[in-house]
Structure 1
């Protein structure tokens, strides 16, 4: 749906419109900008989008949202703050859009839950979900604006945060009717200050619901009671891996190296589910998605079919079988201590020799060393034979891993050093799991191993 700058100027408290222009999409990045887009000139500590307005015009932008008027013939919508202006544009757009809106947050698993819901809702109607990981105070407004305006039955937003108040901010824009809180773990501790800060910030998704909203909460989390209090009189859909007091839980669970089967119980009804994803944590993700879909009114048959159609998302336990009988499991998208432990559990289920290739975990604050040490101990106790640590922080995990008899650790400085070391390991039935924080760029290890296999 195209809109005129003059139409929206008053609604977002714009100071000025230099000349009018019609646009459909928003873009904050000239590298991905498409002809006809409105370029949003964001300003941050290390960048100023106003410096790229000429480039945006060359790429076909029809106008720019700016906080300082530029000497150009490109149409400009002048606001006090382009970040807030972007949010106001998205909120205006959201109020004009159809469909049932859901939002999911959590320290881990939120992208997987979002993708699962995409498959489930496809069994019942049309659906749009957040693309990639556009889940912060910039990505959420862009996602909403660039979605189809009408004729969509279900919309699923992914909400991330690295500081208090961010989820409340994006909820005011997205206005979810069903909120899914998957978990709260040791992630972004440097931004939240403590584990309690993580719990409270994730809880903002519940407090932001309207009185008629529904909350999907993980009963296996120690913060469940606190989140339930935040929900107040709103309807709660609790889920659990095994707690039969939850409204949604799993029975007869069988977790294998590459898939899981279980009976999904939702209130008084049940259905068999085949989930083509590895790991007990992915069963928990599936239960979160099933609870949200139940809140949305879908049948158990639709939920079961949707979960059966799921596939591993890029960088999340994607399996690559190499020609030399080596299995590489790519779980490099991101990492926090809890998600690393879940990945280790998956690796431990593989037959043969197991090697964990672990990069640094970032944003853990003062607890960084002890948390890395804990991961080294966890891997050793899980029976993992080899650990390759890439980076300076993960050296603490390597040292702790070495304390267990029969374990073989090594520390390397870069991703390029991993492949030569692997060549010295027993190749027959060798399984390698690669993981680390996004900033550790552990996907480079996977790329090098796959290139070598060609």
Structure 2
């Protein structure tokens, strides 16, 4: 496999506060078009999973694509001790699990930097040029090559002419002096970054543009990550219930805003926020107040703070509906949903907002013809 690593087998590790699984799957979709690869299973990304993967990888795998998750400091280092990557990706540095870091973004950046410190010293690192918090990553002692992806700031892989389409997002990118168009079957500008990482890795490994385009088009989106269901009466349900943190919720709100018709956000609490939970939840509310959302439903104790933040920022109090039981949530939702409504459902995994998404899908399923 020609490219920046020469004849060495690519061992690719993806970490970051958001976009890990999607980026990993996009990389795997491209690389698997030409070679047998090993990739981590779904979102099974703990260091214990990585230890198990080490026993499953063999000489027939021409590339390895892994997702390195963490809850606390020291866990990314453990991943690298199990399987040391020669290609590293830090998608971004955000607020996921910030409660385990004393409410400190710098603490999260330091923990994510364990990938940089413990991967192959002369490997290849990919970073997000537009993510302000990624500037806190500890890259000073890294002796390998660093490439950046971006949309706004200077980067070796910079997307432009981004356009939202009905079934995803398309963008242009210049490679080797030529402009190429790529399409990702996932909505949201934030998914352009995930695709850019996949393209950048494939490019550096010597893959042709056609393989990148084909791989991204056949990429299978992870479940419950901006999964769109179109039901009767023009109802659109966006199921993004796998996890939630402030950055991810804002990105999902941006996707909801792109839809036509009445827009309803149904948000559960964001967990593992620690001391940051008031600031994090209220910040999401303030963001919603600027986005033209028609109704905001919140579910669970801490989620009420989202509504408070929204009202403080000028969102109509009458259009904020907080519910403490799922039965009440579902009943009040049905009272507000009208034809052509778009409904985003999101919350932390343990809040089980997927039950609400499933309820809505069943309720607005298209009638089968006889």
Q: Name the CA distance, whole Å, in 2 between partners of 1:431 and 1:349.
A: 10
Identify if the C-alpha distance between structure 1 residues 360 and 173 changes in structure 2 by more than 3 Å, giving closer, same or farther: same
Matching residue of 1:443: 354
Query: The residue matched to 2:199 in structure 1 has which SS?
Result: helix
Which structure 2 segments of 5+ residues have no match?
1-7, 366-370
- Are the equivalent residues in 2 in contact too, given 1:207–1:230 (CA < 8 A)? no
The offset of 1:151, in angstroms, is 1.2
Q: Deviations along 1:299-354, whole A, 9 cap, x unmatched? A: 22211221122233101000011223211100001011000000000001100000
Q: Report how many residues are paired.
A: 355
Matching residue of 2:105: 195
Q: Name the CA distance, whole Å, in 2 between partners of 1:379 and 1:157.
A: 34
> Which of 99, 103, 108 is matched with 2:18 structurally?
108
What is the CA RMSD across the aligned residues, in angstroms?
1.9
Which segment is superposed worse, 168-177 or 344-353? 168-177
Query: The residue matched to 1:103 in structure 2 has which SS?
Result: strand
- Are the equivalent residues in 1 in contact too, given 2:26–2:195 (CA < 8 A)? yes
Q: Name the CA distance, whole Å, in 1 between partners of 2:301 and 2:166.
A: 31
> Do residues 315 (structure 1) and 224 (structure 2) align?
yes
The offset of 1:233, in angstroms, is 2.4
Q: What are the equivalent positions in structure 2 for 1:297-312 lying under 5 Å apart?
A: 297-312=206-221
> Do residues 140 (structure 1) and 50 (structure 2) align?
yes
Query: The residue matched to 1:229 in structure 2 has which SS?
Result: coil
Identify if the C-alpha distance between structure 1 residues 204 and 192 changes in structure 2 by more than 3 Å, giving closer, same or farther: same
> Do residues 160 (structure 1) and 108 (structure 2) align?
no
TM-score calculated relative to the size of structure 1 = 0.74
Structure with greater Cα Rg: 1
Matching residue of 2:38: 128
Q: Name the CA distance, whole Å, in 2 between partners of 1:384 and 1:100.
A: 44
Matching residue of 2:334: 423
Q: Name the CA distance, whole Å, in 2 between partners of 1:397 and 1:224.
A: 26
- Are the equivalent residues in 2 in contact too, given 1:257–1:349 (CA < 8 A)? no
The offset of 1:426, in angstroms, is 4.2
The offset of 1:155, in angstroms, is 1.2
Identify if the C-alpha distance between structure 1 residues 344 and 234 changes in structure 2 by more than 3 Å, giving closer, same or farther: same
Q: What are the equivalent positions in structure 2 for 1:25-424 lying under 5 Å apart?
A: 99-145=9-55, 147-193=56-102, 194-227=104-137, 229-230=139-140, 232-243=142-153, 245-256=154-165, 258-266=167-175, 268-403=177-312, 404-406=314-316, 408-424=319-335
Q: Name the CA distance, whole Å, in 1 between partners of 2:178 and 2:134.
A: 24
Greater RCO (CA < 8 Å, at least 6 residues apart): 2
